[in-house]
């Protein structure tokens, strides 16, 4: 049995423009696991892991990003002064990885954008609605 993964394009507004995240549509099991991971119990106390869970979930869904630039870091550890488009084909240099504390391109977008991306799937799951309803989401 083959599963067809549909992709969604989610537009996140920034201060001056917008970024489009291209993601695969999560399965119901993935969303359920994500919702359960937001709060854990440790020694009879609830631990709030909401932001960490949102970031992990968003990174697991990311396929590509559009309209986002970053400044590559030169071998001297300083910025090059020119912006480069970030997408799935971006290969980070060792200097980029050290400066941005990033393993790959998914680690470059700001945390608040990744949280917003996760919330596009979190809110409908909590309210029982569809994630397609008026969220800036475009289906492929």
**What is the DSSP annotation of 80-109?**
-SS-EE-STT----HHHHHHHT-SSGGGSS
In a domain, 64, yes or no: yes
pTM over 0.85: no
Residue 2: inside a domain: no
Question: 124 pLDDT band (50/70/90 cuts)?
Answer: confident
| 113: nearest Cα among 45, 38, 11 | 11
Does some domain include residue 19? yes
Q: What's the domain count of the chain?
A: 1
The answer on pLDDT for 71 being more than 90 is yes
Domain containing residue 103: 7-129
Domain presence at residue 37:
yes
Strand order in the sheet with 7-13: 62-66, 18-24, 7-13, 137-139
Residue 1's pLDDT band (boundaries 50, 70, 90)? very low
- What is residue 4's predicted lDDT score, i.e. its pLDDT? 53
Q: What are phi and psi of 5, to 5 degrees?
A: -95, 120
pLDDT tens digits along 4-52:
569 999 999 988 889 999 999 999 899 999 999 999 888 889 889 999 9
């Amino acid at each position: 049995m083959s599963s067809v993964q549909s992709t969604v394009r989610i537009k996140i507004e920034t201060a001056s423009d917008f970024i489009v995240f291209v993601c695969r549509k999560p399965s119901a099991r993935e969303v359920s696991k994500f919702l359960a991971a937001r709060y854990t119990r440790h020694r009879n106390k609830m631990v709030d892991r909401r932001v960490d869970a949102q970031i992990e979930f968003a990174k697991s869904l990311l396929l590509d990003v559009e309209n986002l630039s970053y400044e590559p870091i030169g071998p001297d550890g300083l910025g090059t002064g020119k912006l480069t488009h970030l997408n799935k084909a971006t290969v980070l240099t060792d200097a980029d990885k050290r400066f941005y504390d990033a393993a790959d391109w998914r680690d470059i977008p700001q945390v608040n954008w990744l949280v917003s991306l996760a919330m596009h799937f979190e809110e409908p799951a909590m309210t029982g609605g569809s994630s397609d309803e008026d969220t800036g989401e475009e289906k492929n």
